[in-house]
């Protein structure tokens, strides 16, 4: 029995009647050298996909997968199955086959897909559940539901669906009026206060996916009650626009088996590690927060078009190691193309994966998936698309919440943080962006702002003002100036402090900031920086602390506009603000190096800190502050330690001092 604490799950295509025996021999050799624990076999995948496969077509794949499964058992390697489609990712020129009488997805403009199925259609639900039941017949360890299990992103549709005739009848029934597609969509996207049609759209989409998930899960477990059914997922803010019930879908798929989720890791090609780090914290970490704590997490490493030309082994390892921050118990890996070529041993993934497996196993023994994350509470709600006010009312993307901004900023600054959907907080440091406040009542807002130290981005501050509660943050009036308006040019330190050795340090308000809120405040406001025009004239306050406990950064927190805030001066300013807060509890943070992420996990009797250097520079003498307790022992786990575990850290006066290699992930166990 495979007892790996951190599973290597290889996504792999072995096509019937295409050198399958030869491909299998290479697979076995690769698995042995790379320490693969599970092979996730594709069926009818990618370039080989011919549309929605029939049961007879699937049977050809099942014969070879079942044969391979029995062979892999000899090497203590389990088998899972990855049907490449559910609704289907995109038309890609494929058509429905004879007898496939499925409702097809229709987009906001009335365009009908040629292949992508409507998830509400009864015929399609019966088809999909029968296909998954067929997969269960060979008793794989796990069957995956692909990330096309969603309404959005079904090319060539505009955004996605579904606004087919059957759905329009359902929307009309719930609205108790005969709706046209255009008027219904106009209502969904109505600027300002959400129209009742918004709730009908979100509730219907939510119900559709819950029902289809239950149908699939039940069909699998009627065949074999022990087969797990896992969900692949993508960007949580987009799933929010279709009302996703994460717990409900996972539970309906799982039945009485464990819940399993594959969060999206946001890099299909290699990007800078700094950019990857931002999106990992704003996408992957938020996905983890959305699912129940007991969910088994197997994130994805994707490599498209799947050669070393698109992603290096070093970057792949960095993705795998950072997945530990999610409490991952393994990783799914799409390394080689899925057209039946099999394994390319010349790319030497077997060496790079084999080299870090012992380290991953040691880290996984920390069981941080059972710990409670701590740090600044980044507030979010999975229901924010129900309450969000749109600006223009022209695109479904306007329903996406932007509540993850602070997670990207704080992680890049080296300040511990975690997502939180519980507004009943006291004596915490709390970060709010976007329109999160619209999910709360006046009493909830007042308690949250009174009992905690608060960080607000400009959109959160405007939401507070727009709801009539601006006085709670000393806000009397606000005016928005777009990027390159000529009004705002830069901000300048105005509190007399020197940051990074620079007096009156300046940072841009002009480039990559997305715009600026000019805010008129009441009396109880400490001005940290002042906004200036190109002629050195002060136009108003920029970063401030109101009521001694509400810090406002007057820019929108949309991730498109994050770059401007990533500089050493803003990093120093916010660490100084957080260090000197008078209400919230102390927050763990690192010193001045950029992209040294710090993550805090608490157990009953000990604490674990994970550190990430998402930079290509080594960092020496990194200080970790605000531990607030004396510990008897600090154990470091690093892949650069010869024996994995040692005591190389320095600990004095409540401060840990350690070094970090470029792209290193390490753990500190505090006992």
**Beta-sheet strands, E only, within 313-405:** 330-334, 372-374, 376-379
Give the per-residue pLDDT at 137.
Answer: 97
Give the per-residue pLDDT at 557.
Answer: 66
What does the pLDDT average to over 164-169? 98
Which of the four pLDDT bands, split at 50, 70 and 90, describes residue 631?
Answer: confident
Task: Find, among 657, 649, 647, 670, the residue nearest to 625 by Cα.
Answer: 657
Give me the sheet containing 78-83, strands edge to edge: 296-297, 260-262, 228-232, 142-145, 78-83, 38-43, 7-12, 330-334, 300-302
Which of the four pLDDT bands, split at 50, 70 and 90, describes residue 331?
Answer: very high
- Judged against a pLDDT cut of 70, whether residue 646 lies above it is answered with no
pLDDT per residue as tens digits for the range 76-128: 999 999 999 999 999 999 999 999 999 999 999 999 999 999 999 899 999 99
Which of the four pLDDT bands, split at 50, 70 and 90, describes residue 648?
Answer: low
pLDDT per residue as tens digits for the range 42-70: 999 989 889 999 999 999 999 999 999 99
What does the pLDDT average to over 370-381? 97
- Judged against a pLDDT cut of 80, whether residue 653 lies above it is answered with no
Average pLDDT, the chain: 94
**Vertex 637: Cα angle to 636 and 641 (nearest 5):** 100
pLDDT per residue as tens digits for the range 207-256: 999 999 999 999 999 999 999 999 999 999 999 999 999 999 999 999 99
- Judged against a pLDDT cut of 60, whether residue 1 lies above it is answered with yes
Tell me how far apart the alpha carbons of residues 540 and 520 are, in angstroms, rounded to a whole number: 8
Tokens of 88: 């289907």
**Vertex 448: Cα angle to 445 and 451 (nearest 5):** 140
- Judged against a pLDDT cut of 50, whether residue 301 lies above it is answered with yes
Percent of the chain with pLDDT over 90: 87
Give the per-residue pLDDT at 645.
Answer: 46
Element housing 56 (H / E): helix 55-73
Tell me how far apart the alpha carbons of residues 446 and 437 are, in angstroms, rounded to a whole number: 11
| CA torsion through residues 27, 28, 29, 30, sign | positive
Give the per-residue pLDDT at 513.
Answer: 60
In order of 23, 328, 341, 348, the CA distances from 344 in angstroms are 10, 27, 8, 8
Tell me how far apart the alpha carbons of residues 662 and 665 are, in angstroms, rounded to a whole number: 9
Per-residue three-class SS string for 497-520:
CEECCEECCEEECCCCCCCEEEEE
* pTM score, whole prediction: 0.96
Structural domains of the chain sorted by starting position, each given as residue range(s) with its CATH number in brackets: 7-370 (3.20.20.80), 372-587 (3.40.50.880), 590-670 (2.60.40.1180)
Percent of the chain with pLDDT over 70: 98
pLDDT per residue as tens digits for the range 420-472: 999 999 999 999 999 999 999 999 999 999 999 999 999 999 999 999 999 99
Give the per-residue pLDDT at 560.
Answer: 61
Say if CB 238 and CB 283 are below 8 A apart.
Answer: no
Give the per-residue pLDDT at 642.
Answer: 58
pLDDT per residue as tens digits for the range 534-578: 999 999 999 999 999 999 999 886 656 677 889 999 999 999 999
pLDDT per residue as tens digits for the range 341-371: 999 999 999 999 999 999 999 999 999 999 9
Give the per-residue pLDDT at 650.
Answer: 80
In order of 293, 369, 405, 565, the CA distances from 601 in angstroms are 13, 9, 21, 27
Give the per-residue pLDDT at 652.
Answer: 76
**What residues contact 183, with CB distance under 8 A and at least 6 apart?**
none
Give the per-residue pLDDT at 101.
Answer: 95
**554: Cα separation from own chain's centroid:** 25
**360: Cα separation from own chain's centroid:** 21
């Amino acid at each position: 029995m495979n007892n790996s604490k951190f599973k290597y799950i290889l996504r792999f295509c072995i096509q019937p009647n295409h050198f399958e025996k030869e491909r299998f021999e290479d697979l076995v050799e690769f698995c042995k050298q790379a320490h693969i624990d599970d092979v996730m076999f594709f069926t009818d995948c990618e370039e080989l996909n011919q549309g929605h496969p029939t049961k007879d077509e699937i049977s050809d794949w099942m014969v070879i997968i079942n044969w391979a499964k029995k062979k892999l058992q000899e090497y203590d390697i389990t088998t899972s199955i990855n049907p490449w489609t559910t609704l289907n990712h995109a038309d890609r020129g494929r058509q429905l086959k004879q007898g496939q009488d499925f409702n097809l997805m229709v987009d906001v403009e009335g365009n009908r897909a040629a292949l992508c199925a409507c998830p509400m259609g009864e015929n399609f639900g019966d088809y999909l559940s029968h296909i998954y039941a067929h997969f269960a017949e060979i008793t794989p360890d796990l069957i995956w539901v692909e990330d096309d299990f969603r309404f959005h992103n079904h090319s060539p549709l505009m955004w996605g669906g579904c606004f087919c005739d059957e759905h329009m009848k359902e929307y009309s029934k719930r609205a108790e009026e005969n709706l046209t597609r255009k008027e219904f969509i106009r209502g969904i996207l109505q600027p300002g206060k959400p129209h009742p049609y918004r709730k009908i759209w979100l509730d219907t989409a939510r119900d559709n996916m819950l029902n289809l998930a239950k149908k699939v899960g039940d069909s699998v477990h009627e065949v074999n009650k022990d087969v797990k059914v896992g969900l692949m997922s993508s960007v949580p803010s987009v799933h929010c626009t279709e009302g996703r019930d994460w717990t409900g879908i996972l539970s309906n798929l799982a039945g009485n088996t464990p819940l399993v989720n594959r969060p999206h890791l946001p890099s299909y090609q290699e990007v800078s590690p700094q950019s990857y780090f931002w999106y990992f914290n704003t996408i992957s970490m938020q996905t983890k927060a959305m699912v129940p704590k007991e969910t088994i997490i197997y994130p994805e490493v994707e490599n498209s078009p799947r050669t070393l030309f698109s992603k290096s082994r070093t970057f792949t390892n960095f993705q795998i190691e950072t997945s530990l921050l999610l409490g991952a118990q393994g990783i799914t890996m799409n390394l080689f193309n899925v057209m039946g070529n099999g394994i390319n041993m010349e790319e030497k993934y077997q060496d790079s994966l084999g080299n870090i497996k012992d380290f991953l196993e040691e880290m996984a023994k920390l069981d941080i998936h059972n710990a409670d994350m701590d740090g600044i509470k980044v507030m979010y709600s999975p229901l924010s698309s129900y309450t969000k006010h749109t600006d223009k009312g022209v695109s479904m993307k306007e329903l996406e919440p932007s509540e993850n901004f602070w997670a990207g900023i704080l992680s890049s600054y080296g300040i511990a943080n975690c997502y939180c959907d519980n507004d009943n907080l006291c004596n915490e440091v709390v970060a709010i962006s976007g329109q999160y406040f619209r999910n709360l009542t006046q009493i909830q807002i007042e308690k949250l702002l009174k009992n905690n130290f608060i960080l607000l981005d400009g959109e959160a501050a405007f939401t507070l003002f727009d709801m009539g509660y601006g006085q709670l943050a000393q806000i009397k009036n606000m005016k928005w100036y777009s990027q390159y308006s000529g009004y705002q040019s830069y901000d300048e330190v105005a509190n007399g402090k020197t940051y990074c050795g620079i007096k009156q340090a300046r940072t841009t308000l002009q480039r990559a900031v997305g715009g600026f809120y000019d805010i008129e405040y009441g009396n109880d406001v400490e001005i940290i920086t002042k906004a200036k025009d190109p002629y050195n004239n002060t136009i108003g306050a920029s970063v401030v602390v109101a009521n001694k406990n509400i810090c406002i950064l007057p820019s929108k927190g949309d991730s498109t506009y994050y770059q401007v805030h990533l500089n050493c001066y803003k990093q120093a300013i916010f660490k100084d603000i957080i260090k000197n807060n008078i209400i919230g509890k102390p927050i763990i943070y690192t010193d001045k190096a950029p992209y040294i992420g710090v993550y805090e996990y608490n157990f009953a009797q000990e604490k674990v800190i994970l550190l990430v250097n998402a930079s290509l520079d080594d960092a020496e003498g990194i200080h970790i502050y605000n531990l607030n307790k004396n510990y008897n022992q600090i154990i470091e786990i690093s892949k650069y330690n010869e024996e994995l575990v040692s005591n190389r850290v320095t600990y004095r006066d409540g401060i840990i001092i350690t070094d970090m290699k470029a792209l290193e992930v390490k753990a500190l166990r505090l006992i």
